[in-house]
Amino acid sequence: MSAKPPSRTSIGTVLAVVGALFIGYIGVSYLLAPQSMAPDFGLPSWPRGEGAGFLAVKGVRDVVSGLVILAVLATGNRRVLGWVMLATALTPIGDMFIVLLSGGAPATAFGVHGATASAVIIAGGLLLSGSRPQPSTPLAAP
């Protein structure tokens, strides 16, 4: 008896969960040990002293990004999750361009941020291609 291969929606869901947990971990790491995390972002320099608070901003942003994905996941609507994943991909795309335009390492820009964006886009595409749109219901009259 052969096993049925996982559906696109299942693969996309697993990628979304892994991505949410990973970005949440990165965010917590930026909150707990910002100076040790900053060099891995890919910028040639990072904020120090009073400017180091911006590293906490990145930490909060990443934690919230992971929580948004998990919250949408909890609704069970994989189609909406797919759209959220595609919208979320804009964050690592933006990070990639920030690293490139700031004179950071292209290998990090593409290898970390570009690869992350690609994985998030793939997850969103799988979720959208494997789920059917929900029928719209008319709004109830007030």
**Considering the chain, what is the average pLDDT of its residues?**
90
Average pLDDT over residues 78-86: 96
Model pLDDT for residues 29-70, shown as the tens digit of each residue: 999 998 888 888 988 887 778 778 888 999 999 999 999 999
What length is written for the chain?
142
In this predicted structure, what is the pLDDT of residue 140? 60
pTM of the predicted model as reported, rounded to 2 decimal places: 0.85
Per-residue pLDDT at 135 exceeds 70: no
Q: In terms of C-beta density within 10 A (0-12 exposed, 13-18 middle, 19 or more buried), how is residue 17 classed?
A: middle
Going from the C-alpha of 31 to that of each of 23, 26, 47, 115, the distances in angstroms are: 12, 9, 14, 23
